[in-house]
Structures are given as C-alpha cells and as structure tokens.
Structure 1
C-alpha cells in the first residue's frame, strides 16, 4: 500500500464516521467508494466505523474481484456500475438518511423546492424504482436514475450522492437530506411550487463560480494588496 493510497483509505474511513456524526446515517448501513488505480476502494461490510483501519477498506476491480479476505459492502454493484458509467464522478456515498429515505418510501422524486437542488445536477432528484439491496437489478435502475444527475433516491431504501471527491459527495448527501426535509415540511399543504428548468439552469451556471476561485476567475474583483 502506497502512502497516497493509505491517505485515501483514511479519508474514506473518516467520511464514514462523519456520516454518523452528521446524522445522515446510523450504524453501518451506509457505504462509500472512491476511484483508486484500475478499480476502486469501498468500505467493508459489517465492520463498525469506529473499528475501521485502512487495511479494512477493500480494493475492488471492475470485474468484481477484490484483494484480501475482508468482504466489501453488499452494495458494491451499484458503486462499481456508477463509477464505470460516469467517468466524471470519483466517489459515491450511500446513506439511509431519515428525510431522504422517507421521500423514497413515498416513491417520489424531490422537486426543485429550493435552488440548492442544482448541486445534484438538475431540477429534480429522481427516485429509482424499488429493487432488492445488493442486486444487479438495483444497480441498473440506479445508474438510469443518475443520468444527468449526481444524486438519486432508491425507493424504500435510501439515497446515493456522487461527486468528484469523497468530501463533495458527502456534502451533496447532506444537501439531499436538507432538500428532502424541506419537501416533506411542505407536503402537508399540498405539492409546493417549484423552480422551473430555466431558473435551475441559471443557478447551475452560477454554481460554477461559487466559493473560493482562482484569482483569474474572479472577473470584476481585485485582489487586495
């Protein structure tokens, strides 16, 4: 194991622990993966997060073989298939966060109730049809639900968020949970009004320069001397 890989494994473990600290996961129900070399790293099945060591993180190959005697998460199929289908994504986070899972039980998409939905890549967060956990059938419907998106729900199951890094995938999972909570709070009053595709497209473009940017990207701003 190289030092760079150990750092990546440690980052994955810390993200698993953060899911529980952030309240978007309980126990070991969630799982995380990240690209690594000619394959991907994934959290193991059934080991409490506070007991995880870098050696417990499983290196998997695209053909579903893996190194060592620690078993990977039972959800490895959709992690593999998402990363194979989407070269723009580096990490996948799956949780059973309460509000997002509640919307998934209703078999509803999350609509554009708030502009932050653009962080997931579009004007909705789709809900994939129910399929049994750990199956290829689930992986297939998830990949479809993620077309043009970075997050989706899985009916009667939970949420998937994927992004260019572990940190950003985890942050997106938190955003999805917030959106689900907002949507559920609105539902007792009927289906809420939503932002349209054009409005979300403007937000999506705005997000490209949101946060800290390199100095040349800050048109119209001058760096203090």
Structure 2
C-alpha cells in the first residue's frame, strides 16, 4: 500500500471514530467516504468503529466494484453517486444522530430557524422521501434532496453531509445536529420564527465573502 493511500485510509478511520466521539454515530451504523484517485475509499459493512484500521477501509471504483474479498458499506451507492455528481465534494458522511434522525423520522425538512442554515447552501435542509437503505432509489432521492445543498435528511433513516474535505463534512454533520437540536427545543418553547429566503441568501453571500471554510457560530 502506497504511503498516500495509507494516509487517506487512516483519515477515514479517524473520521469514523470522530463521529462516535462527537455523539453523532455509534456501533456499526453510519459510514464515511473519501474521494481518492479515480474512485473513493469507504468504510466497510458491519464493522464496529473501534475495530476499524487502515486495512479494513475499502477502495471502490466509480463503477461500484471493489477488490475481491472486500465488502463496502451497504450505502456505497449514494456515496459513489454524490462524488460522481458533485466534483466539488471530497468527502461524504452518513450518520444517525438523535435530533437529525428524529426530524427524519417525522419526514420534516428543517426551515431557516437560525442563520447558520446558510452553511448548508440555502434556506432549508430538505428531507428525502423514504426508500430502503442501500438502494438505487435511495441514492436518487438523496441526490435530489442535496441539489444546491451540502446536507440533507433521509426519511426514517438519518442524514448526509457532503464537504470539500473530511473536516468540512464532519463539521457540517455536527452543525446540522446542533441546528436540529435547537429546532426541537424551539418547538417545545413556542412557535419558531423563520428567517426569510432573502435573509438566508444574504448570509450565504456573507459566508462566501468572508472566505470561511467553516464559519464559527457567533
């Protein structure tokens, strides 16, 4: 294994463990991928995070094939399809965090209840309709929900975050879970005030103008 590939594989392992440490994922749920060469590197199917090492990470070609004896995540299809459709994306994170998944179970998109929603590309975070995990249908629905966005929810399932690199993808996943937590609390307190699309469009422009890779909460 070349040094560059080993480093990339180790970054996928580190990302999967970081998701657990942040409370965004646990056990064998969720998966992580990283663009590498002409394909991608992805976490394997059914391996607990703490059992992962560089050798366990699966190289996957864009035609969906992997080396004999390897078994990529059951969700490899939407990872591959997102990376194929979105050249600006370098890493994809899929997880089942509590608040994101709670809204996904309800089939609810997240409206502009906080200006930080602009970090995801627009005035909403969409929720893709339900489809069985690992299917071509789920991948198609996820791609539609991600149009013009970096994150989406998957009905009765979880969430996806797509970033320019792994650090960005994990940051987006964490921000989305925070936003969903805030929205859940606001719904308990009263009626959330929704920012206008114009206000969010202005925030999107501000983020671009600052040249921030990961804008901090103010």
| Superposition deviation, residue 52 in structure 1 | 1.1
- Alpha-carbon distance between aligned partners in 2 of 1:88 and 1:211, rounded to the nearest angstrom: 16
- Alpha-carbon distance between aligned partners in 1 of 2:137 and 2:182, rounded to the nearest angstrom: 30
Give the number of equivalent residue pairs.
Answer: 213
Deviations 1:168-195 (A, max 9, x none): 1001000000011111112235552111
Which secondary structure state, in structure 1, belongs to the residue aligned with residue 25 of structure 2?
A: coil
Deviations 1:43-96 (A, max 9, x none): 001111111111111110111111241200000011011111111111100000
1:217 aligned residue: none
Q: Which runs of 5+ in 1 are unaligned?
A: 214-225
Shifted more, 60-69 versus 86-95: the winner is: 60-69
1:173 aligned residue: 173
1:24 paired to 2:24: yes
Deviations 1:157-214 (A, max 9, x none): 000000100111001000000011111112235552111111111211221254779x
Q: Structure 2 length normalisation: TM-score?
A: 0.94
2:145 aligned residue: 145
1:36 aligned residue: 36
- The alignment's C-alpha RMSD in Å is 1.4
- Please say which structure displays the higher CA radius of gyration: 1
- Alpha-carbon distance between aligned partners in 1 of 2:133 and 2:190, rounded to the nearest angstrom: 31
Deviations 1:99-119 (A, max 9, x none): 000001111100111111111
- Alpha-carbon distance between aligned partners in 1 of 2:205 and 2:27, rounded to the nearest angstrom: 37
Which secondary structure state, in structure 1, belongs to the residue aligned with residue 160 of structure 2?
A: strand
1:159 aligned residue: 159
Q: Which runs of 5+ in 2 are unaligned?
A: 214-218
2:216 aligned residue: none
1:5 paired to 2:5: yes
TM alignment of 1:61-100, pairs within 5 A: 61-100=61-100
Which secondary structure state, in structure 2, belongs to the residue aligned with residue 160 of structure 1?
A: strand
